Amino acid sequence: MPSPAAAARAIAPRARDLALEGEAARRLPIEVAEAMVNAGLPRLAVPKSVGGAEAAPAEIVEAIEALAIGDGAAGWCLMIAVTTGLLGGYLPPAEAQQVFGDERAVVGGVVAPRGTAVVSGDDVVVSGRWPWASFSNHCTWLVGGCSVTDGDTTRSPPGGTPEPHLALMPAADVEIVDTWRASGLKGTGSNDIEVNHLTVPTGLCIPFATMAPVADGPLYAFPLFGLLALGISAVCLGLARAAIDAFDEVAVDKVPAMSLRKLKARPHAQMQRAQAEAKVASARSWLYAVIDEAWVAAGAGDPMTPVRRARLRLAATHATLQSAEAVDLMYDAGGGSSVHETSPLQRCFRDVHTATQHMMVGSPTLEAAGRVLLGVDDGGLML
């Protein structure tokens, strides 16, 4: 079988061809979604015990990056499906089989605890509305973060604050509310999802902050939020590479207005192209180095220390920010032609600056990583 990255690279050209169609529909084209499922890509982080790939983090990041080179929205949707698939390693075996046992299962949703779950015997009754549910149109199960109440008591660890839980719900029982109208990543279908008084078995409503993996593979030693951040950075690296490639194509033949030289012969454009390459290549290299370092440690059974978690998050945020700067350079160097809807540069520009707004790669993550590196605290749940 081809590697995950090779499978993603095979889909990327068609994803690029259909990118404008996805933007117009505000959701990923069915053809691209089906190709991802057929290649098994959404199951890269699902445990082998329920038929998943349980791939190494570097393989996951490389696959997301490769698909995002074709279309940022496709890469983003894959990132959501793969990182949510990690929950298969935290569910009890029977529930993991129920959700992920179907080889075509795709899981997405929203972790933020915007819902409520009221205990009712062996079930919880879930209500809530969650924005930013990317890829939800193509999911078979959806996750919603909730606070859990049992009578008059909100569940929390001993002596702790109320703990968010994750309720896994069949997608057929969840309403998708058409709200996704954004400047970038338009084709991700990141609509709101909503349920009202949906009964969910307690085995499918798991505590988030204190849950421990049931699966024992080294993949599940990685922090959930850390892997999510790595996935976002992979999308941004793919977008940066796509912008560089798009600029290279333009620079070959374009003669800017009021100039006698082609764009590729202009010193300023040459400098910007070199700067973009250095930003992407160096950030990418460090990202994969930090991932490999953590993977080797996980394989040896070493604990995921706060410093290791901080380095993963720092490398992800750094790669995201450097990718955005590289896209900006290529968008600027492309000149007036960059603004047209037919130009991949304007789509890369919009997409990458939408991705940078995600809280997992925002400036507070730099603060959290810095606190750990300075020995102030352990970073908490943010890392």
Lowest-confidence region among 3-12, 54-63, 357-366, 372-381? 372-381
Compute the average pLDDT of residues 276-299. 97
Residue 152 confidence (pLDDT): 67
Decide if pLDDT at 230 tops 90. Answer: yes
Residue 128 confidence (pLDDT): 97
**Residue 148 confidence class, pLDDT cut points 50, 70, 90:** very high
Residue 2 confidence (pLDDT): 87
| CA 233 centroid distance within chain | 8
State pLDDT tens for residues 35-53.
999 999 999 999 999 999 9
Sketch out the chain's domains with CATH numbers.
4-89 (1.10.540.10), 107-207 (2.40.110.10), 222-376 (1.20.140.10)
Backbone CA torsion sign across 82, 84, 87, 93: negative
**Residue 336 confidence class, pLDDT cut points 50, 70, 90:** confident
Indicate the SS3 state at residue 266.
coil
Instruction: Report residue 269 as tokens.
Output: 């454009």
Residue 256 confidence (pLDDT): 67
Decide if pLDDT at 235 tops 90. Answer: yes
Compute the average pLDDT of residues 282-311. 96
Decide if pLDDT at 157 tops 60. Answer: no
**Residue 158 confidence class, pLDDT cut points 50, 70, 90:** low
Indicate the SS3 state at residue 334.
coil
Compute the average pLDDT of residues 11-23. 97
Residue 258 confidence (pLDDT): 65
131: number of Cβ within 10 Å = 15
Tell me 161's DSSP state.
P
| Tokens 């410093």 belong to residue | 307
Lowest-confidence region among 149-153, 229-233, 327-331, 369-373? 149-153
